[in-house]
Amino acid sequence: MSRLQVLIIILNLLFLLYISRLIIKGRLREEYAFIWWISAVFLTIFSIWTKAQNEVSEFLGVTVPANLIFGGLIFLILIYLLHLSLVNSKLQRNVTKLTQEFAILKEQLERLSTGETEKSTSTENQS
Amino acid sequence: MLPGLFANLKDCSTQSAFTLLPVVVNDCSRDGSAVLARSLGVNVLNLPSNLGIGGAVQTGIKYALSKGFDYCIQMDGDGQHPPAEFEKLISTAIKTGADVVIGSRFLTGEGFQSTFIRRLGIKYFHFLNRVLTGKSIHDITSGYRLLGEKAMKLAANYYPDDYPEPESLVFFSKHGLKIVEVPVTMHHRQGGKSSIGTFASVYYWVKVTAAMFYSYIRKQ
């Protein structure tokens, strides 16, 4: 085993430990930690099984093994970006809902505190 | 311009046979219009973070629902939509039993008719809507419209974020709501700028086309 290999394996293990620590402390949700776990495990496997990239490239028909790594990683990153967009959309929906509820409740609260009476059956809404 | 509009609204609501509750949705504007509206005795919904036009309109709709109103009228705050015309919307809704009534500036061709390019855009969306839903709605981008209870409930659940008008009409049609157009006279906007600039208009075109299409193929 080369020195570089040992170094990478140690770094990966530290990375895994750090992610675990973030989850334990509640700073990272498990669903987002998942992809980091997978990539760290992958890196560890590849650093132990050094011939992997050549063998897998040959199996898949990729001429230059480095391209397999780049291609694979870029694909993973794209998928992860899509995931983040989904998370972002969900957050935005939630913020919209909260903002609307908040504005309506605040308006009612203000009217309650000034003691105004309200009337109803039909409305004019302007925005 | 705003004080005039509010005074106008107040006049209309006191003279009308219907019970009206004017509401201003302030989407994070800091130009003091919310304070002004409140000082004139109009209810104001202050959004703590900017939601864009769709989110703001939806807030008003949710508010109307929470108060148990039968109808909700959406109106621009820039003086384009004369408050005096709202009776037409309500009486049309009552007469025809429509769930959505659109104030249209094209049916009679009176009043402000918008620029040529815009009319072209509106024609295009009119065409697209007709292809998708089979209904002909001439002033499809009109922001002066009335929603009945069914439409309000649907819109409270789902309303598009930006440039919501054409897409929401496809959405309403898909849910089998009755949409009726009624001629109204519109004015030039008396203050402020359009939310759609030159570059934005291209984005508008692409976004609304996609949104209408997806709204059409989406399952209910």
Among B49, B61, B70, beta carbon nearest to A122? B70
Q: What one-letter code names the amino acid at B14?
A: T
**Residue B182 Cα, gap to closest chain A Cα (Å):** 17
Q: Residues B2-217: name the CATH superfamily.
A: Spore Coat Polysaccharide Biosynthesis Protein SpsA; Chain A (3.90.550.10)
**B175 membership: H or E segment, kind and range:** none
* Interface probe, candidates A108, A121, A127, chain B, greatest B C-beta count within 10 A: A127
User: Given an 8 Å threshold on Cβ–Cβ distance, is B75 in contact with A124?
Assistant: yes
Tens of pLDDT along B61-80?
Answer: 999 999 999 999 999 888 88
User: Given an 8 Å threshold on Cβ–Cβ distance, is A123 in contact with B44?
Assistant: no
> What is the C-alpha to C-alpha distance for residues B45 and A101, in angstroms, rounded to an integer?
10
User: Given an 8 Å threshold on Cβ–Cβ distance, is A125 in contact with B76?
Assistant: no
Give the residue-averaged pLDDT of B187-206.
78
Residue B52 has a CB neighbour count (10 Å cut-off) of 18
| Of A16 and B193, more confident | A16
- Bridge partners of residue B43, in order along the sequence: B23
CB B151 within 8 A of CB B70: no
Most confident of A68-82, B26-40, B144-158, B176-190: B144-158
Residue B43 has a CB neighbour count (10 Å cut-off) of 21
**Residue A87 Cα, gap to closest chain B Cα (Å):** 17
* pLDDT tier for residue A116 given thresholds of 50, 70 and 90: low
Q: Tokens 């692409």 identify what position?
A: B206
CA distances from B28 to B13, B25, B74 (A): 26, 9, 18
Residue A36 has a CB neighbour count (10 Å cut-off) of 17
| Chain B CB contacts of A118 below 8 Å | 21, 67
Give the residue from chain A lying closest to B66, CA to CA. Answer: A104
Q: A21: which residues sit within 8 A by CB, 6+ positions away?
A: none
User: Given an 8 Å threshold on Cβ–Cβ distance, is A120 in contact with B19?
Assistant: yes
Q: B43: which residues sit within 8 A by CB, 6+ positions away?
A: A107, A111, B21, B22, B23, B24
User: Given an 8 Å threshold on Cβ–Cβ distance, is B69 in contact with A120?
Assistant: yes
Among A99, A102, A119, beta carbon nearest to B19? A119
ipTM of this model? 0.82
The pairing of beta strand B72-75 with beta strand B43-46? unpaired
Q: Tokens 């959309």 identify what position?
A: A89
Query: What pTM was estimated for this model as a whole?
Result: 0.81
pLDDT in the model for residue B71: 93
Give the residue-averaged pLDDT of A92-114.
91
**Residue B138 Cα, gap to closest chain A Cα (Å):** 22
| Chain A CB contacts of B77 below 8 Å | 126-127
* pLDDT tier for residue B6 given thresholds of 50, 70 and 90: confident
Question: Which strand ranges, in their side-by-side order, compose the sheet holding B43-46?
Answer: B43-46, B22-26, A123-126, B72-75, B145-147, B100-104, B179-183
User: Given an 8 Å threshold on Cβ–Cβ distance, is B71 in contact with A122?
Assistant: yes
- Bridge partners of residue B62, in order along the sequence: none
Give the residue-averaged pLDDT of B146-170.
92
Give the residue from chain A lying closest to B18, CA to CA. Answer: A122
Q: B140: which residues sit within 8 A by CB, 6+ positions away?
A: B102, B122, B125, B126, B129, B165, B166, B169
* Interface probe, candidates A95, A111, A126, chain B, greatest B C-beta count within 10 A: A126
> What is the C-alpha to C-alpha distance for residues B10 and B4, in angstroms, rounded to an integer?
10
| Of B57 and B38, more confident | B57
**Residue B73 Cα, gap to closest chain A Cα (Å):** 5
Give the residue-averaged pLDDT of B119-135.
91
Per DSSP, helices labelled H in chain B are 2-15, 33-39, 52-66, 86-96, 116-133, 149-157, 164-174, 198-217
Task: Supply A115's token pair.
Answer: 């003691």
Q: B35: which residues sit within 8 A by CB, 6+ positions away?
A: none
Per DSSP, helices labelled H in A1-127 are 3-24, 30-48, 52-60, 65-114
